[in-house]
């Protein structure tokens, strides 16, 4: 699982300083913070992948071969690098790392629990492999934080976060997107820094290329699971697909715009970066979703900016407090709801699903 940040409401915004309270950062829950999920584990037992068996077996064989087995073993420490960043960049970069770690670890916890609870051998094998990778990813980010003296106690995180219940099909839509957008985010940053190595202000970005191939493979697993059960992608469920696409894109847009200094340091404009990531994610998700959002439509982009402005009013209202703050917050909530609805109601593009499902990470 991947992508995404925490916690940019005023009461938990990262504070430039020596020792940010990263435990408070991960514990704080907002609509935008990465979440921990739980589901109906028994329903996994009934999943049947026989209609995609050939592609399934090839994908599992690739995961079993463990191409990134040695990738996350470090021969260098990252001591002193975060500490030397200028305060605003340091705060936003720590925010980025903490939220990425939370996303990776929430994937690890969910997948491990799915592997433990199911009696379905295909599911057990898959989720064990996914949990293996996510635990490495979370551990690697945590090592980078520990080198700066701000590692997170993952046991604490397991207990401190609220768990949100989602039906299995909603887990599949959102986790599919989360994996694929995670790939798109990491590869877009990696490509940017390959073109501009002078902007690589922390060595962790050099790990992103092979790392994001793990996320790509994870997404492939959920693509096959969704395609194995065609009713998840037809009829009324198409409305859910559109909802999840928009929810994931909108969340990312708001979160990324809360980190202007971080993106400037990478030479990225958050708007351009996000639309690049949406475009990659939309191209990939043609393997599975019968509909796709037209993120190039000027009406979509205008509404997305209105949604961002509304979410800033919500934050400002919380910060101000009192009646004025409450009004500002209410106006933000209404504005955010209307902008979301406007984007949701724009006509999506239709896709013909390809006979061969699997893709290669070619972006
Ligand atoms: Fe993943
Ligand atoms: Fe991951």
Between the CA of 104 and the centroid of ligand 2 the distance, in Å, is 5
Domain annotation covers residue 257: yes
* Closest ligand to Cα 178: 1
Q: Which of 86-95, 159-168, 271-280, 347-356 is the least confident region?
A: 159-168
Domain annotation covers residue 161: yes
pLDDT digits (tens, 9 = 90+) for 206-262: 999 999 999 999 999 999 999 999 999 999 999 999 999 999 999 999 999 999 999
Between the CA of 322 and the centroid of ligand 1 the distance, in Å, is 42
pLDDT at res. 276: 97
The whole domain housing 148 covers: 22-293
* Closest ligand to Cα 207: 2
- Residue 355 neighbours by CB under 8 Å, 6+ apart: none
Average pLDDT over residues 264-275: 97
pLDDT at res. 29: 66
The pLDDT of residue 10 is above 90: no
- Check if the beta carbon of residue 252 is closer than 8 Å to that of residue 274: yes
pLDDT digits (tens, 9 = 90+) for 291-323: 999 999 999 999 999 999 999 999 999 999 999
Domain annotation covers residue 251: yes
Between the CA of 299 and the centroid of ligand 2 the distance, in Å, is 33
* Closest ligand to Cα 127: 1
The pLDDT of residue 159 is above 60: yes
Tell me the C-alpha distance between 128 and 124, whole Å. 6
Using only the alpha carbons of the chain, give its radius of gyration.
Answer: 20
How crowded is residue 185: how many other Cβ atoms within 10 Å of its Cβ? 25
* Closest ligand to Cα 181: 1
- Specify the number of domains making up the chain: 1
The neighbourhood of ligand 1, an ion, using CB within 5 A, equals 179, 215, 218
How much is the pTM?
Answer: 0.90
Average pLDDT over residues 56-80: 92
Between the CA of 309 and the centroid of ligand 2 the distance, in Å, is 30
Domain annotation covers residue 324: no
Domain annotation covers residue 305: no
DSSP state of 15: -
Residue 16's pLDDT band (boundaries 50, 70, 90)? very low
CATH number at residue 101: 1.10.620.20
* Closest ligand to Cα 100: 2
Between the CA of 358 and the centroid of ligand 2 the distance, in Å, is 19
Domain annotation covers residue 307: no
User: Percent of the chain at pLDDT above 90?
Assistant: 80
Between the CA of 214 and the centroid of ligand 1 the distance, in Å, is 6
* Closest ligand to Cα 222: 1
Span between the terminal Cα atoms of the chain, in Å:
19
Between the CA of 37 and the centroid of ligand 1 the distance, in Å, is 14
pLDDT at res. 31: 64
Q: Which of 33-47, 230-244, 332-346 is the least confident region?
A: 33-47
Domain annotation covers residue 202: yes
pLDDT at res. 23: 77
Beta strands in the chain (DSSP E): 36-38, 163-165, 291-292, 349-350
Establish how many alpha carbons lie within 13 A of residue 184's alpha carbon, considering only the half-sphere containing its beta carbon. Answer: 24
Between the CA of 310 and the centroid of ligand 2 the distance, in Å, is 31
**3 state SS of 146:** helix
The pLDDT of residue 136 is above 80: yes
Domain annotation covers residue 158: yes
- CA-angle at 95, arms to 89 and 96, nearest 5°: 90
């Amino acid at each position: 699982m991947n992508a995404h940040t925490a916690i940019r409401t005023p009461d938990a915004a990262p504070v430039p300083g020596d020792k940010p309270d990263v435990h408070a950062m991960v514990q704080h829950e907002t609509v935008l913070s990465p979440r921990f999920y739980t589901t109906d584990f028994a329903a996994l037992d009934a999943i049947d992948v026989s209609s995609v068996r050939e592609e399934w077996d090839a994908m599992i064989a690739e995961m079993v071969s463990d191409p990134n087995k040695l990738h996350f073993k470090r021969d260098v420490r990252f001591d002193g690098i975060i500490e030397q960043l200028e305060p605003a960049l340091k705060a936003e970069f720590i925010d980025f790392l903490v939220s990425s770690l939370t996303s990776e670890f929430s994937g690890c916890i969910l997948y491990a629990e799915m592997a433990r609870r199911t009696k379905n051998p295909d599911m057990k094998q898959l989720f064990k492999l996914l949990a293996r990778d996510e635990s490495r990813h979370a551990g690697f980010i945590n090592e980078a934080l520990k080198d700066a003296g701000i590692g997170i106690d993952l046991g604490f995180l397991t207990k401190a976060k609220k768990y949100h219940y989602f039906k299995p099909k909603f887990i599949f839509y959102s986790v599919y997107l989360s994996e694929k957008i995670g790939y798109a985010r990491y590869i877009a940053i990696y490509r940017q820094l390959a073109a501009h190595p002078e902007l690589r202000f922390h060595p962790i970005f050099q790990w992103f290329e092979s790392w994001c191939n793990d996320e790509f493979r994870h997404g492939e697993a959920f693509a096959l699971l969704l395609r194995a059960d065609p009713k998840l992608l037809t009829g009324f469920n198409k409305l859910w697909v559109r909802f999840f696409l928009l929810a994931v894109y909108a969340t990312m847009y708001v979160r990324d715009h809360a980190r202007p200094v971080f993106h400037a340091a990478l030479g990225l404009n958050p708007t351009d970066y996000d639309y690049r990531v949406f475009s990659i994610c939309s191209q990939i998700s043609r393997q599975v979703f019968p509909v796709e959002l037209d993120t190039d439509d000027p009406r979509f982009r205008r509404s997305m900016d209105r949604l961002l402005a509304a979410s800033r009013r919500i934050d400002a209202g919380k910060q101000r407090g009192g009646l004025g703050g409450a009004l500002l917050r209410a106006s933000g909530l209404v504005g955010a709801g209307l902008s979301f609805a406007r984007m949701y109601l724009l006509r999506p593009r239709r896709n013909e699903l390809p006979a061969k499902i699997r893709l290669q990470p070619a972006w």
